[in-house]
Chains A and B, each alone.
Chain A
Amino acid sequence: MRFKISLAQINPFLGDLEKNLVKHLEFTEKAIVEGSKVVVFPELSLTGYTLRDLTNEVALDADSDFFKPLKEISKNIDIVLGFVEKGEDKITYNSSMYLSRGEIKLVYRKMYPPTHGMFEELRFFGRGNSYKSLATDYGKVSVIICRDFFHPTLLSLAYLDNVDFVFAISNMPLRGLKGEKPQIQETVETASSTYTNFFGFFVVYVNRVGFDDGLGFYGGSFIQSPTGRKIVSAELFEETIVTGTVDTDDIYKKRTSFPLIKEEDRLLFVKNVNRVVGGLDD
């Protein structure tokens, strides 16, 4: 199956839900014009990143009326976005949402909010505790958020879950400008090349651009096929939308020519994980 995915590499307004909603609708319209099946926005795309004490002020229930216009437009295109979630458990989460056919199909809570150095997410957000995936008409997808992408344990779950597309939505601040590319971009792309090669799924990586309080987000969004091919790459530092055509046959070809998944023994893996981390079988 061949279809288009659009990457909305936006620069959100910090803490301004209404302005960001307008931006989402504009970029989604552009993706519809492109004929895309899915449009993907970055982490916290509805709010911006460095929210600090604004966090709870911009938190939304997943069933909030705020999402009505997005649900409406999702009748024409699937949408992946990021928002601050007001949890039913009264905890605030850094969450992603997948909308399709007028409905919210998936809400995932970031499992690894970084809290060290310049990052202070656990000061304001709770920690998600569930990996999630979703069956769509083009394959199984998982939506993970920024630092999650650096945890191969989480990506391993997507692999064992036989996921076809991992949407990694990010607010990755730039650091390291020595080489041809920002050093952090090299790190992300190295991870993606490893995941696509060994786990045999597509990586759809969408990073924001712009500055919040001096932290600059570099953009550089991309789609990488399980074959390793970069299908599309967005430029650095610029707000833009780029669209690439993916072919799900790449997944089958990769997994049959390099049949790691066939060799996999899930139960053996679980037994060994339990043994290593001191689980029930220990």
Chain B
Amino acid sequence: MIDLTLNYALVKKFIVKFIEEEVKSNKFDHALLGISGGIDSALVASLAVDALGKENVFGILLPYKLSSKESIEDGLKVVENLGIKYEIIDITEITEPYFTKEKIGDKFRIGNFLARIRMSIIFDKAREFDAIVLGTSNKSEIMLGYTTWYGDMAAGIYPIGDLYKTQVFGLSKHVGVPESIIAKKPSADLWPGQTDEDEIGTPYSEIDQILYLYLEERKTKEEIVELGFKKEDVENVLKRMFATQFKRTFPPVCKISQRTFGHDFLYPHDIFK
């Protein structure tokens, strides 16, 4: 078992600085994020409050008719404990007419659509509040591509984008995320009873170690299996990672001119810093 524990006091300090500075570099004073009731958004909200002050952080709760009762309760717990401003917008009325009209029953289509509608509302509300959108994706789900492209991945900055899920749990305990949120099984909550680990087919404890060994220790697939990990878990993780590479890169631009974004227009992101 590889210990992925970090020095969470230092990690917290570093991410708080990151949020504080990158929000300013992007010319914002406020930040906004979707609050799902899960651990990732609870953690980012807490770090954002430390960085920007509670008066500058906005939470949006976006339940759907199939969202679990705990998700809404836990989401409310997050915003109320932190004392941030929030709104609740039920997306059932917005999404149902489309599902009905198009006769959509496929849960993956429904799930992706919900994620992208939430994204649309989050960005619209960000405009209303003059806020940057904080991404709540963690390294495990980004590397597995277990996210909706232009859905929950859409954000201005990724404060916890380089933390494995295991480390998200560790840091959440350190910053005092409510226990009920830490204790429950991670879920995208796109349909009743959904859990990340059932859907992915490998538990996060295994996923994170396999990712760590492959990415940071630069072990090969065979070497990871030799270390005692199940071949099907290693293959599952690596296959998911490479199959979703398009989500982590800029879309290919057909280069024609002498200078092209995505190829050789190489200004930094933080150009206004």
Chain A nearest CB, measured from B214 CB (Å): 16
Given contacts A210-B21, A214-B18, A216-B14, contact A51 B268 (CB under 8 A): yes
Q: Which residue of B lies closest to A211 (CB)?
A: B21
Chain B interface residues (CB < 8 Å from chain A): 5-7, 10-11, 13-14, 17-18, 21-22, 25, 157-158, 265-271, 273
- Which of A15, A180, A212, A216 meets B17, CB within 8 Å? A216
Q: Are A211 and B7 in contact (CB under 8 A)?
A: no
Chain B nearest CB, measured from A127 CB (Å): 19
Q: Are B13 and A236 in contact (CB under 8 A)?
A: yes
Q: Are B269 and A213 in contact (CB under 8 A)?
A: yes
0 or 1 for each of A144-163: is its CB under 8 Å from B? (1 = yes): 00000000000000000000
**Residues in A whose Cβ lies below 8 Å from that of B267:** 52-54
Q: Knowing that A14-B271, A50-B268, A211-B25 touch, tell me 6 more A-B residue pairs with CB under 8 angstroms.
A: A11-B21, A13-B273, A14-B25, A48-B273, A214-B18, A214-B157
**Residues in A whose Cβ lies below 8 Å from that of B10:** 177, 182, 236
Interface size class of A (residues with CB under 8 A): 20 to 34
* A83: interface (CB < 8 Å): no
**Residues in B whose Cβ lies below 8 Å from that of A177:** 6-7, 10-11, 14
Task: Tell me the bound Cα distance from A211 to B158 in angstroms.
Answer: 13
Could you write out 22 A-B pairs with CB less than 8 Å apart?
A13-B273, A14-B25, A48-B273, A50-B268, A52-B266, A54-B268, A54-B271, A174-B14, A177-B7, A177-B10, A178-B6, A178-B7, A179-B7, A211-B22, A211-B25, A211-B270, A214-B22, A214-B269, A216-B14, A216-B17, A216-B18, A237-B14
Chain A nearest CB, measured from B252 CB (Å): 20
Task: Tell me the bound Cα distance from A48 to B21 in angstroms.
Answer: 14
**Residues in A whose Cβ lies below 8 Å from that of B7:** 177-180
Chain B nearest CB, measured from A111 CB (Å): 24
Given contacts A53-B266, A177-B10, A211-B25, contact A237 B271 (CB under 8 A): no
Q: Are A14 and B14 in contact (CB under 8 A)?
A: no
- Closest A-B pairs by Cβ, 4 of them: A14-B273, A52-B266, A53-B266, A50-B268
Task: Tell me the bound Cα distance from A178 to B157 in angstroms.
Answer: 23
Q: Are B21 and A213 in contact (CB under 8 A)?
A: no
Q: Are A237 and B268 in contact (CB under 8 A)?
A: no
**Residues in B whose Cβ lies below 8 Å from that of A50:** 268, 270
Q: Is the interface of B mostly helix, strand, loop or mixed?
A: loop
**Residues in B whose Cβ lies below 8 Å from that of A48:** 273
Task: Tell me the bound Cα distance from A48 to B270 in angstroms.
Answer: 11
**Residues in A whose Cβ lies below 8 Å from that of B273:** 13-16, 48, 212
**Residues in A whose Cβ lies below 8 Å from that of B270:** 14, 50, 211-213
Q: Which residue of B lies closest to A13 (CB)?
A: B273
Task: Tell me the bound Cα distance from A11 to B24 in angstroms.
Answer: 13
**Residues in A whose Cβ lies below 8 Å from that of B25:** 14, 211
**Residues in A whose Cβ lies below 8 Å from that of B21:** 11, 210-211
Q: Are A52 and B268 in contact (CB under 8 A)?
A: yes
CB contacts under 8 Å to B, within A4-47, are: 11, 13-16
**Residues in A whose Cβ lies below 8 Å from that of B6:** 177-178
**Residues in B whose Cβ lies below 8 Å from that of A212:** 268, 270, 273
Task: Tell me the bound Cα distance from A16 to B25 in angstroms.
Answer: 13
Q: Are B268 and A213 in contact (CB under 8 A)?
A: yes
- Which of A51, A53, A178 meets B265, CB within 8 Å? A53
Task: Tell me the bound Cα distance from A179 to B3 in angstroms.
Answer: 12
Chain A nearest CB, measured from B120 CB (Å): 25
Chain B nearest CB, measured from A263 CB (Å): 41
Task: Tell me the bound Cα distance from A53 to B5 in angstroms.
Answer: 38
Interface centre among A11, A180, A211, A236 (most CB of B within 10 A): A211
0 or 1 for each of A233-266: is its CB under 8 Å from B? (1 = yes): 0001100000000000000000000000000000
- Which of B17, B22, B266 meets A237, CB within 8 Å? B17
Task: Tell me the bound Cα distance from A213 to B267 in angstroms.
Answer: 11
Chain A nearest CB, measured from B249 CB (Å): 15
Task: Tell me the bound Cα distance from A236 to B12 in angstroms.
Answer: 13
Chain B nearest CB, measured from A154 CB (Å): 27
**Residues in A whose Cβ lies below 8 Å from that of B5:** 178
0 or 1 for each of A104-145: is its CB under 8 Å from B? (1 = yes): 000000000000000000000000000000000000000000
- Which of B18, B157, B265, B271 meets A15, CB within 8 Å? B271
Chain A nearest CB, measured from B262 CB (Å): 13
Chain A nearest CB, measured from B23 CB (Å): 11
Task: Tell me the bound Cα distance from A15 to B25 in angstroms.
Answer: 12
**Residues in B whose Cβ lies below 8 Å from that of A210:** 21
**Residues in A whose Cβ lies below 8 Å from that of B14:** 174, 177, 216, 237
Task: Tell me the bound Cα distance from A179 to B266 in angstroms.
Answer: 35
